[in-house]
Structure 1
Amino acid sequence: MSTLEIKDLHVSIETEQGDKEILKGVSLTIKTGETHAIMGPNGSGKSTLASTIAGHPRYKVTSGTITLDGEDVLAMSVDERARAGLFLAMQYPVEVPGVSMTNFLRTAKTAIDGTAPKLRTWTKDVKTAMEALKIDAEFASRNVNEGFSGGEKKRVEILQLELFKPKFAILDETDSGLDVDALKVVSEGVNRAQDENEMGTLLITHYTRILRYIKPDFVHVFVDGKIAEQGGAELADRLEDEGYDRFQNVPA
């Protein structure tokens, strides 16, 4: 079992008016095999947490720690975090002109594992994962995300998740922009990765609809850069009924 531990994390970004604190003391522990859902209104710091764990340079950690099995994640470069077992499915996946999906996936897998996968096995694994995610075979020869629809980009993120087999996946609003059919396909991919690899999942979302397919063990409500409430899956149902209004005037 592996553990991703966040302790009293404070994070700021630089703005024209100076540094602005976004995360104001977040503590969270995730173990492999667990699914944690983070919910909250816009601007509450959910995506900031995801980007900070992944190592986005825009976000400055002013205090607190992030450790993976006791190792200092904040001291790692972005690629070292990936090799250590962290994966970020981005809210807005970027296009990479000139780099084919085939080359990108195998190069990334080689960089993460330290050795190139055997070609025959790898080709079979890619084909199987693409079929399960209902990604057309011709996408393998296309450039990464170039000309893909929003839903296609999200499926490709989960394709990477299934092939790279991380210890922990941070899914930053993976459900945004998906219709019901695509949501089911993407959710099934996440569930397969969890079942096959005992992966820990940090699922960031505004809505409960994805939680009908990916069942959370824990739900954390983010408000103004802090965790305002925590509970089990029933908390998500309560948020569906009541919204976030009761948290808006929580004292600092």
Structure 2
Amino acid sequence: MNNNLLKIENLKTMVEEKEILKGLNLEINKGEIHVIMGPNGAGKSTLANALMAHPRYRQVNGEIIFDGENINNLKTDERARRGLFLSFQYPEEIPGITVENFLKTAKNSIDGNLLKFLKFSKDLKTNMEDLKINTEYAKRYLNVGFSGGEKKKNEILQMLMLKPKLAILDETDSGLDVDAIKIVSQGIKIFSNEETAVLIITHNTKILENLKPDYVHILVDGKIVKTGDSTLADEIEKNGYESYKNN
């Protein structure tokens, strides 16, 4: 049985004619939590956006194999339907669409119009309570008037409701206080199981105090230059990235 969920081989991407990812390699298996850390401008968010086929990030080389399928030529919505999910670093406000209706539409699109409304409503209430989100927020417009922490928790709510195979969390912990980080970590624990995987992109080790990642990767200048266990994050917290630059 093949446990491999994501395999990235020699990925190179361009943004406005500038090469950002310069031959990145990464493998993620089902049941694993991976963390990517790196200095500003290393290519962390570029990797997240490239995986979701953001049109600004042009893939010029390499392969992205997801759940045994080459997804190089798939559009963003096609990748989402296959089980890729991206939590945004800066979630957008969408006036006119409530949190509940947004989730219903997204889940319908992924599941193929097989949505069971009673189960959906029950799951939504349970997940909102687990994330300490006021259930009244389900009737509010998506992220409109939400604080930064509420927007980030709403991204985790989407992950729990949509049940992707691989959740990519881009700086989900940035700007959060200690209590909010604990809640986000709890959401990741609820989501994680032997059939799913999580890729956390961060420059902060705070979220790792509540999670035990299987692998920590250091991304510098468009390439992963070091992989280790959670102790690698502790080393970075203490010593920074200087020793990994210009390697």
TM-score higher than 0.5: yes
Give the corresponding residue for 2:34. 36
- 1:20-46 Cα offsets, whole Å, 9 max, x none, are 000000000101101110001000000
Alpha-carbon distance between aligned partners in 2 of 1:69 and 1:123, rounded to the nearest angstrom: 30
Report the alpha carbon displacement of residue 47 of structure 1 after superposing the two structures with TM.
0.5
Partner residue in 1 for 2:198: 201
Q: Which residue of 2 aligns with 1:92?
A: 90
RMSD: 1.0
Moved more, 235-244 or 125-134: 235-244
Cα offset, 1:188, TM superposition: 0.2
Cα pair 1:2 1:167 within 8 Å, conserved:
no
The one of 227, 232, 247 aligned to 1:230 = 227
Offset, 1:114: 0.9
Q: Report the 3-state secondary structure (helix = DSSP H, G, I; strand = E; otherwise coil) of the residue aligned with 2:72.
A: helix
Measured against aligned partners, the alpha-carbon deviations of 1:192-227 in whole angstroms (never above 9, x if no partner) come to 0003x6311111010111111121101110111111
How big is the shift at 1:2?
4.7
Partner SS for 2:36: strand
- Partners of 2:195 and 2:68 lie apart in 1 by 19
| Paired residue type of 2:60 | T
Q: Deviations over 1:178-203 (max 9, x none)?
A: 000000001100110003x6311111
Instruction: Say if 1:69 and 1:198 are closer, same or farther in 2 by CA, change over 3 A.
Output: closer
**Counterpart amino acid of residue 225 in structure 1:** G
Deviations 1:157-180 (A, max 9, x none): 000111111110100010001000
The 4+ residue runs of structure 1 with deviation greater than 4 A are none
Equivalent residue for 1:243, pick from 237, 240, 245: 240
Runs of at least 5 residues in structure 2 that lack an aligned partner in the other structure: none
Amino acid at match of 1:131: E
Which residue pairs with 1:214 in the alignment?
Answer: 211
Matched, 1:127 2:129: no
- Asked whether the 8 Å contact 1:51–1:59 carries over to 2, the reply is yes
Aligned to 1:118: 116
Q: Give the deviation of 1:55 after TM superposition.
A: 1.2
Measure how far apart 1:3 and its partner are. 1.4
How far apart are the structure 2 equivalents of 1:85 and 1:214? 22
Q: Which residue of 2 aligns with 1:3?
A: 5
Gaps of 5+ in 1: none
Q: Which amino acid aligns with 1:63?
A: N
Contact 1:89–1:169 (CA under 8 A) maintained in structure 2? yes
The letter for the 1-side match of 2:62 is G
Q: Are 2:80 and 1:82 equivalent residues in the alignment?
A: yes
Structure-to-structure mapping, 1:5-84, within 5 angstroms: 5-14=7-16, 19-84=17-82
Contact 1:217–1:233 at 8 Å: present in 2 too?
yes
Percent of pairs with identical residues: 54
Paired residue type of 1:160: Q
CA distance in 2, matches of 1:100, 1:233: 38
Pick one of 173, 179, 182 that aligns with 1:175.
Answer: 173
